[in-house]
Amino acid sequence: MHRDSERHKLFSRRAAMLGGGKSLLLSTLVGRMYYLQVVESSRYKTLAEENRINFRLLAPPRGRIVDRFGRAMADNQQNYRAVVIPEQSGDLAVTLGLLSKIIPLSDKDWRRILREAKRKRAFVPITVRENLNWGDVARIEVNAPDLPGVLIDVGQSRNYIYSTEIAHVMGYVAAVSEDEVSDDPLLELPGFRIGKAGIEKVYDMQLRGQGGSSQVEVNALGRVIRELARQEGQVGNEVRLTINLDLQRFIAKLLGDESASAVVVDVHSGDVLAMVSSPSFDPNMFNKGLDQAQWDSLVHNEKSPLTNKTISGQYAPGSTFKMAVGLAALEKGAITPETKVHCSGSVKMGNAKFHCWKRGGHGSVNMEEAIEQSCDIYFYEAARRTGIDRISAMAERLGMGKSLDLGLPGERRGLMPTRKWKMKTYNEPWQMGETMISGIGQGYILVTPLQLAIMTARIANGGFSVSPRLVTEDDANEKPVMESIGLIPEHLQLVTNGMNNVVNGVKGTARKARIHETGMEMAGKTGTVQVRRITKSERESGVINNNDLPWKERDHALFVGFGPVENPRFAVSVVVEHGGSGSGAAAPLARDILLEAQKLALSTPAPSEREAETKMKEADVT
């Protein structure tokens, strides 16, 4: 009995100790659960949400590029893409084989897709083809049951509405290269495009916009289950150019496939109304991706379609430079309005003989007559009396030999030689013969078509330092303040009279290209630039037919002009590479361009008026 009592007491103590231990463990567990579920609940809820919800960056729509009247030249369009999800396709190679019977897939496409399939997770979509047309989309959708894992995705792609007509100004967008990747997360998005040339490159950051986001639910492997929320990206800023789209398209059609360029500027504001370089290219090809054959056709074309000749082409100005020589000579007093020089067809300087373009010469001519008839002998003498340093200084005041800061990539400075430049570059002294040949715009002198247009504008507007402007500011009608470049009005009048006679005078070199519409007459200056040395036998025979020469050995044809004569508003420069003569090839083009510019100015309201009319029409429709 006593033993039973002792055994009972021992059992009770052990039970109590065991129960106490269990109670302690249970209390600890309850306390821990309370801590995790109550005290730390918000923290673990956040962690759980982060594991369940992913935020993904969305590419924003790229901003539009419009002309001076708000007409779109570059915008965005729907881009239908065929994508494949490897894990859903079963045998990827078989699926691609079936798909290739509907849309062509090159060997390059096959290699790329299979390479990405190995590198990426099986549930990540892989782009098969972009920019599908509606027919391709329809065929894929109809055959969807036989194409496991193949889907149609809809995105946005850059679209250049007028493609070749304004390609060199607009530039283009293309995929981001490895050396262009920065800390901007947008650059890492598949298929994201950035500006690579032209306005697209210069204003790339403004045009990009701000990325949006998509909130999606994913499983533990990262596979998307559903989209919970979406915030679209902010569209990029709109960039408005000074270009008049109607005039731009007119000139592009006029030049055709000729290796040529033309620039039209407003002589008072400097607005670039048209800037055409031909032949051109289709910027949409760069967005979609070029194949090797397309690339080779562009880079091996002797007419250089990828080069913006208006700002990158550098040419000897030829006789279009004679106004600068004349103004420099008048300012120095080396030549007066009454000074006459006798032209017999040639003149000697030491052992060298300098020829006029007209065999037999022009007789005695003053400056106004020399400009009208483009007498070389007169300007040889004017240059000799003036000196190269003064001529170059005048040319720079007129906008040549320096960057005009238009804002497009590839703008060249040209070259205005001086004595100091010659010594620094060649370690040789300047020669008088070099001054004389500079008097007719040849030798070392180089200019761009844009510089020639600005030179003409500064002469036409009375000697004010107008500079080219391609992008409008907030106030499109605000004209920049221009300073005088210090030209004497009487000298300018003499030069412009000569330019008027070039086109409208009885002996003018461009009289066949005159504008007959009253009040729209133009003034100008022809230029013909040799690209090879004329042999003695050719000069003595007097017969040099450019059309009989290989294309690259023919003379360049140039013309600069302004209109209307009585109240100048537009200045133009035209350069036709290997076109023959300025009067025969370039002047007729400039005439048609200036006539069209004036007609458009009469029929088209100012930008602010155009916008007001558009808003009124939209209100009426509403």
CA dihedral 267, 271, 273, 274 (to 10 degrees): 100
| Tally of structural domains, the chain | 3
Tell me: pLDDT of 33 over 80. Answer: no
pLDDT mean over 346-367 = 91
Q: Which two tokens stand for residue 93?
A: 């190679």
> E strand or H helix at 262, and its extent?
strand 260-266
Which CATH number covers residue 493?
A: 3.40.710.10
| Any domain includes 620 | no
91 part of a folded domain: yes
Parallel, antiparallel or unpaired: strands 341-343 and 363-365: antiparallel
Same domain, 163 and 141: no
Q: For all residues of the chain together, what is the average pLDDT?
A: 85
Say which amino acid occupies 479. Answer: K
Residue 260 lies in a domain: yes
Judge if 99 and 185 occupy the same domain.
no
pLDDT in tens, 267-312: 999 999 999 999 999 998 887 777 788 888 888 889 899 999 999 9
Which positions ≥6 away from 17 have C-beta within 8 Å?
Answer: none
The pLDDT value recorded for residue 48 is 56
- At 14, list the tokens: 């052990």
User: Are residues 458 and 471 both part of a single domain?
Assistant: yes
In this structure, are 214 and 343 located in the same domain?
no
Last residue within a domain, chosen from 222, 241, 260: 241
Q: What are phi and psi of 530, to 5 degrees?
A: -75, 140
Q: How confident is the model at residue 613 (pLDDT cuts 50, 70, 90)?
A: very low
593 inside domain = yes
Residues 237 and 257 in one domain: no
Q: How far is CA 456 from CA 152, 208, 292, 465, in A?
A: 55, 37, 42, 11
Evaluate whether 208 touches 236 at the Cβ level (below 8 Å): yes
The Cα–Cα gap between 557 and 523 comes to 17
Any idea what the CATH number is for the domain that residue 166 is in? Answer: 3.90.1310.10
Residue-wise pLDDT for 454-507, tens only, equals: 999 999 999 999 999 999 875 545 566 788 999 999 999 999 999 999 999 999
Q: Does residue 321 sit in the same domain as residue 418?
A: yes
Question: How sure is the predictor about 87, in pLDDT bands with cuts at 50, 70 and 90?
Answer: confident
Domain boundary among 154, 189, 217: 154
Q: Residue 48 domain-assigned?
A: no
Catalytic: 319? Answer: yes
- Model confidence at 615, pLDDT cuts 50, 70, 90, reads very low
Residue 152: which H helix or E strand, with range?
strand 150-160
One domain for residues 440 and 531: yes
Q: How far apart are CA 126 and CA 132, in angstroms?
A: 15
- Say how far apart CA 176 and CA 134 lie, in whole Å: 27
Among 192, 222, 241, the domain boundary falls at: 241
Instruction: Look at residue 232 and give its three-state secondary structure.
Output: coil
Beta bridge partners, 528, equal 557
Can you tell me the distance from the alpha carbon of 305 to that of 286, in angstroms, rounded to the nearest whole number?
14
Residue 451 and residue 536 in one domain: yes
Q: Give yes or no for residue 415 having a pLDDT over 80.
A: yes
146, 201: one domain: no
- Marked catalytic residue, from 269, 277, 319, 374: 319
d(CA 122, CA 90): 11
Tokens read off for 282: 């289709």
Q: Count of CB atoms within 10 A of residue 334's CB?
A: 17
pTM beyond 0.85: the answer is: no
Task: Judge if 220 and 292 occupy the same domain.
Answer: no
Higher model confidence: residue 519 or residue 175? 519
Range of the domain at 121: 80-154
Does the residue 22 lie in any domain?
no
β strands within 50-149, DSSP E: 53-58, 65-66, 72-84, 126-132
